[in-house]
Amino acid sequence: MYIELVKHPDVFLRSVSKDVPFPLDDKTERLTKYMARAMYQHHGIGLAAIQVGYQLRMFVMDCTRAQESPQVFINPVIVKNSEETLTDFEGCLSAPGKRGEVKRYLRIVLKYQDKEGAEHQKTFYDLEARCIQHEMDHLEGRLCIDYEKGEYSRDKHKSQTMVESDFRVKHNT
């Protein structure tokens, strides 16, 4: 089954996602698996719920080569970050063919919940830290292509063409 992603410049990607209530209902539980499938199908290392049509504060990530151990992060919050940053180019599954030059912290401490609702606090480095910061932007309606020379640009965000959402959630029953 081919999973369609919400794509830029769809205005839906600009919405701010909401907290996920616990205990997870069956639908949200299924959604985490669906997100992982979508991530692998599109050869990404991370994917936020908004990219498959749900305004929920959760994302999946797998930066391993094997691509068989997706991690699920629910209601994530960055509680600490390094002084050191790195500016590099990033792409997004929701903006194919485009890229942004984005400054990210090299190291972050993330607080999040797993599917059972248990709280975790963990330090992430380098590629994982970058990927998490990219996904956290999705939860706020931001995209990596909004950045200019490393910095987030409100003007660029605004100037990106906004079109009415034509995304249909096909599995939203």
Q: What does the alpha-carbon distance between residue 104 and residue 123 come to, in Å, rounded to a whole number?
A: 15
* Closest residue by Cα to residue 140 from 125, 152, 149: 152
Number of helices (H) and strands (E), helices first, in the chain? 3, 9
Question: Whose Cβ is closer to Zn ion: residue 74's or residue 100's?
Answer: 100
135 has catalytic annotation = yes
Residue keyed to tokens 């991690």: 71
Q: Which stretch binds Zn ion (CB under 5 A): 24-32, 89-97, 108-116, 119-127?
A: 89-97
Catalytic residue among 29, 84, 128, 135: 135
- For residue 119, the minimal CB distance to Zn ion (Å) is 25
Q: List beta partners, residue 151.
A: 148
By CB under 5 A, residue 45 contacts Zn ion: no
The phi, psi pair for 2, rounded to 5°, reads: -80, 130
Question: Whose Cβ is closer to Zn ion: residue 20's or residue 92's?
Answer: 92
Q: Which stretch binds Zn ion (CB under 5 A): 3-11, 58-66, 85-93, 113-121?
A: 85-93
By CB under 5 A, residue 49 contacts Zn ion: no
- For residue 62, the minimal CB distance to Zn ion (Å) is 14
Structure tokens at 112: 């999040």
By CB under 5 A, residue 92 contacts Zn ion: yes
Q: Which stretch binds Zn ion (CB under 5 A): 11-19, 60-68, 86-94, 154-162?
A: 86-94
**Dihedral sign (CA 146, 38, 111, 129):** negative
Question: Whose Cβ is closer to Zn ion: residue 22's or residue 98's?
Answer: 98
Site for Zn ion in 120-159 (CB under 5 A): none
The contacts of residue 35 (CB under 8 Å, 6+ apart) are 47, 49, 52, 58, 59, 60, 72
Give the residue numbers marked as catalytic.
Answer: 135
Instruction: Give the residues lining the site for Zn ion (CB under 5 A).
Output: 92
